[in-house]
Amino acid sequence: MLRRLVLVLLAAVLSACGRSEPDDGMIHIRYLASPDVGGFSKVIIERFERAHPGLKVDMIEGPAAGDARENMYSTAFMGEEDSYDLAYVDVAWVPKFAAQGWLLPLDALMPAAELDNFLPGDVTGSRYQGKLYRVPIQSDGGMLYYRKDLLAEKNIPVPRTWEELVSAAKKTRTSSIAGFVFQGKQYEGLVCGFLELVWGFGGDLLDSSGNVRIEEPPAVAALSALVDAIHVDGIVPQSVLTYQEEETRNVFQEGRAVFMRNWPYAWNLMQQEGSPVRGKIGIVPMVAGPGGKPAATLGGWGFAVSAYSRHPQEAYAVAEFFASAESQKLAFFKGGILPSRRALYSDPDVLKAAPHMKDLGRVLAYARPRPTHPRWPRMSDALQMHVSAALSRQEEPAEALRAAAVEIRAAARR
Amino acid sequence: MRDHSRAGAVNWLYAAPAMLFMGVVSLLPIGYTFGLAGEYHRLAVDTRFWPVMRTTLSLTAVTVALELALGLAVALVLWSPFPGRGLARAAVLIPWALPTAVMAMAWRWIFNADSGVMGDLLFRLGLVASPQVPWLADATSAFWAIVLADVWKTTPFMAVLLMSGLAAIPDELYEAAAIDGAGPVRRFFVVTLPLLKSTIVVAVIFRAIQTFGLFDLVFVLTGGGPGGRTQTIAVYAYDVVFRYQELAYGCALVVAMALCLVLMTGVMLGAARGGKAR
């Protein structure tokens, strides 16, 4: 008994030091993901293992917080360890991971024709310096939620431009219902929402030839519009400066806002039984400014193959299986995961269960990834800080974006 | 002679585990940090360094000053005997015993813009026009929110340290001063304060070092916002190392931080000694 205990402890210590393969003659493909809500990943893995005898997929359900998992992946890769064969990566991690040489280019494995079946934003976000590093699995993008009932009451059409949004919000808000809420806290989400407006106003942050354009008039106009919405028009409560996604959703779901900028995840939660706004909400792409086109900031996840994996071919097979239309449909029905394949947004089964997927498909068609630069975190922080300073009126919009541009250029040069 | 040297060897043997432990968990990482640090020239051109330094220093000065005043008051009250003193002493320690991150989450709810207790309380007292006050949306009020949360948490620590100083003051001195006709206020200034000085210096240095490296409270409560106005040097160093993956410069920041602390401690000790010479 005691000897057995010692052996078990010894094994535990050893396995903590490095990766030890279970001695079952199978090839194990390991990856880290968020908790498997709905259990769909397990079903997909079972199906994969049945179709591929000799292969086993070990999914490690890690923390729900994305940056915690990003740190876990980074630590393993920094040590050049083969702890993970696959990495389930956010679109924002692709450039950073790829630039460090942690990921395997997949161009030779994935036929170019196959890529056309995915949403264009998800494919762009999977590339770094022209090479493909990720198989897109889950799509995500920012959008405008609105209260159908409140707009209908006043006979107001759904806004398409910023001007229409401001006027609709002014007409529908009351002392207890805010016009528009968004994620205004100083963090990554602020940049996502702000970029949607910058693109919508016809501006850009980093153009395709690498020029920083964030201090140009369209971006300044977008920031001024947001600042005015809080401090001049009064359609946005000042408390948005402390809001992340969940705070915004709570306000909107409790019926205390007419418009909200958020991600698709909020839809299912707000349509649940018992939700005060159930059946009263709609979604459209984020409004555009004068002369611009609506845009959405791309989120989304996909599988990348680790450069340190001893079984890259097998790992890719797992990624390919998860990306199949059948697996994506299962993930959508069991876990509400938005597919990265465009055909599924007009799939009859999907539309029958969720008619709003048609609108979502339209929103995601506008989705654009954030700049793919390995030093994006520093650039994003500079932008967050100055946008936040402008929203809290510590800096003028033009001055804030000029300062942000200087810092972003410095980060790009380093 | 031989016995003596053997005793010495045995003593070293006894000390070895502790020394090994210190070496592995303390000296080795410190040495590593110095080894990894580089790109010091960037400290001069980094546009974030000085604003972050200014925030950290003002936070340290304000917080430690408030804690000293409050901690001294609490220590004096808890030192004089009254019924239920043991219970009061234990109760005062509760904030200090809480993990900072947990406490910071609670403060985030207290300062919540829509349903926070703080706004509601002040509204009921008639001090603000609406119970919905976005405390953390404004640079100044966010700074004071951090000060309040930190003072609340660490005043007990200050009080406990000062109480140990009070315990070391002999009662005879108070009696002699009383016989000489000194009232309670005068006794505080001629007996308590001068004899407490060395304890105060130690307590202030302790707290200044801790506040200068403040990370968890800021990280959870404001994330450094709005507009980066509440970002401390520790939060910035974390970003540089873990998020920007600029290890060399991040370690340089930590070395700069350590130098600041050495300088700060030196100035405080010097001031205390200078006062003694007079």
Same domain for A148 and A124? no
**Could you give the residue ranges of the DSSP H alpha helices within A110-180?**
112-115, 120-124, 148-153, 162-172
Domains in chain A, number: 2
Inter-chain touch A239–B132, beta carbons under 8 Å: yes
Same domain for A175 and A215? yes
> Contact, A368 vs A300, CB < 8 A?
no
Same domain for A285 and A324? no
Q: Which domain holds residue A312?
A: 21-140+299-360
CB-CB: which of A375, A389, A395 is closest to B244?
A: A375
* Domain annotation covers residue A51: yes
Rg (chain B; Cα; Å): 23
Looking up residue B220, the CATH number of its domain turns out to be: 1.10.3720.10
Same domain for A263 and A398? yes
Does B136 touch chain A if contact means CB atoms closer than 8 Å?
Answer: yes
Q: Is the pLDDT of residue A246 over 50?
A: yes
What's the whole-number mean pLDDT along residues A85-98? 93
Does B46 touch chain A if contact means CB atoms closer than 8 Å?
Answer: no
Inter-chain touch A395–B138, beta carbons under 8 Å: no
Same domain for A401 and A282? yes
Same domain for A226 and A280? yes
Omega within 30 of 0 (cis) for the link into B184: no
pLDDT for residue B2: 57
* Token pair belonging to B26: 């303390």
State the amino acid at position B35 in one-letter form.
G
DSSP state of A399: H
Same domain for A129 and A175? no
Same domain for A186 and A324? no
Does B132 touch chain A if contact means CB atoms closer than 8 Å?
Answer: yes
Question: Which chain B residues contact residue A226 at CB under 8 A?
Answer: none
Same domain for B30 and B128? no
* Domain annotation covers residue A14: no
Q: How confident is the model at residue A398 (pLDDT cuts 50, 70, 90)?
A: very high
Same domain for B30 and B55? no
Q: Which residues contact A257 (CB under 8 A, 6 or more apart)?
A: A147, A177, A178, A179, A180, A181, A248, A251
pLDDT for residue B278: 45
What's the whole-number mean pLDDT along residues B152-159? 94
Residue B169 backbone phi and psi in degrees, to 5: -85, 120
Same domain for B194 and B259? yes
How many residues would you count in chain B? 278
Question: Which chain A residues contact residue B222 at CB under 8 A?
Answer: 186
- Which residue in A has a C-alpha nearest to residue B224's C-alpha? A186
Least confident of A217-226, B184-193, B197-206: B184-193
Domains in chain B, number: 2
> Contact, A91 vs A59, CB < 8 A?
no
Distance, C-alpha A353 to centroid of its chain: 23
Q: How confident is the model at residue A166 (pLDDT cuts 50, 70, 90)?
A: very high
Residue A138 backbone phi and psi in degrees, to 5: -120, 130
Closest listed residue to residue A172, CA positions, set A156, A161, A196, A189: A156
- Which residue in B has a C-alpha nearest to residue A408's C-alpha? B47
Closest listed residue to residue A247, CA positions, set A190, A174, A183: A183
Q: How confident is the model at residue A1 (pLDDT cuts 50, 70, 90)?
A: very low
* Domain annotation covers residue A122: yes
Question: Which of A239, A247, A379, A408 is the best residue to mutate to test the B interface, defined by the most B CB atoms within 10 Å of its own CB?
Answer: A239
Does B140 touch chain A if contact means CB atoms closer than 8 Å?
Answer: no
- Domain boundary pick from A360, A383, A403: A360
Same domain for B162 and B199? yes
pLDDT for residue A371: 87
> Contact, B235 vs B219, CB < 8 A?
yes
Average pLDDT, rounded, for chain B: 90
Least confident of A124-128, A143-147, B2-6, B74-78: B2-6
Q: Is the pLDDT of residue A250 over 80?
A: yes
Looking up residue A78, the CATH number of its domain turns out to be: 3.40.190.10
Average pLDDT, rounded, for chain A: 90
DSSP B107-166: HHHHT-TTT-HHHHHHHHTTSSS-S---GGGSHHHHHHHHHHHHHHHHHHHHHHHHHHHH
- Domain boundary pick from A360, A387, A403: A360
Inter-chain touch B226–A388, beta carbons under 8 Å: yes
Interface A–B counts its CB contacts (< 8 A) at 79
Q: How confident is the model at residue B73 (pLDDT cuts 50, 70, 90)?
A: very high
Higher per-residue pLDDT: B182 or A379: A379
Q: For residues B177 and B242, what is the distance between their CA atoms, to the nearest angstrom?
A: 58
Q: Is the pLDDT of residue A105 over 80?
A: yes
State the amino acid at position B10 in one-letter form.
V
- Domain boundary pick from A336, A360, A384: A360
Inter-chain touch A394–B227, beta carbons under 8 Å: yes
Q: Is the pLDDT of residue A366 over 70?
A: yes
- Binding-face residues of B in 49-108 toward A, CB within 8 A: none
Same domain for A287 and A345? no
pLDDT for residue B275: 62
* Domain annotation covers residue A2: no
Same domain for A98 and A214? no
Higher per-residue pLDDT: A375 or A302: A302
Higher per-residue pLDDT: B171 or A133: A133
Same domain for A88 and A194? no
Q: Which domain holds residue B222?
A: 41-277
- Which residue in B has a C-alpha nearest to residue A238's C-alpha? B134
Inter-chain touch A377–B138, beta carbons under 8 Å: no
Q: Measure in Å the smallest separation between the Cα of A274 and chain B Cα atoms.
A: 21
Q: Is the pLDDT of residue B14 over 70?
A: yes
Same domain for B102 and B229? yes
- Which residue in B has a C-alpha nearest to residue A241's C-alpha? B137
pLDDT for residue A78: 86
* Domain annotation covers residue A136: yes
Does B223 touch chain A if contact means CB atoms closer than 8 Å?
Answer: yes
Same domain for A391 and A264? yes
DSSP A209-265: T--B-TTSHHHHHHHHHHHHHHHTS--S-GGGGG--HHHHHHHHHTT-EEEEEE-TH
What's the whole-number mean pLDDT along residues A309-313? 94
Q: For residues B227 and A390, what is the distance between their CA atoms, to the nearest angstrom?
A: 8
Q: What angle do CA B138, B139, B142 make, to 5 degrees?
A: 80
Give the H or E element holding residue B88: helix B85-97
What's the whole-number mean pLDDT along residues B181-188? 87
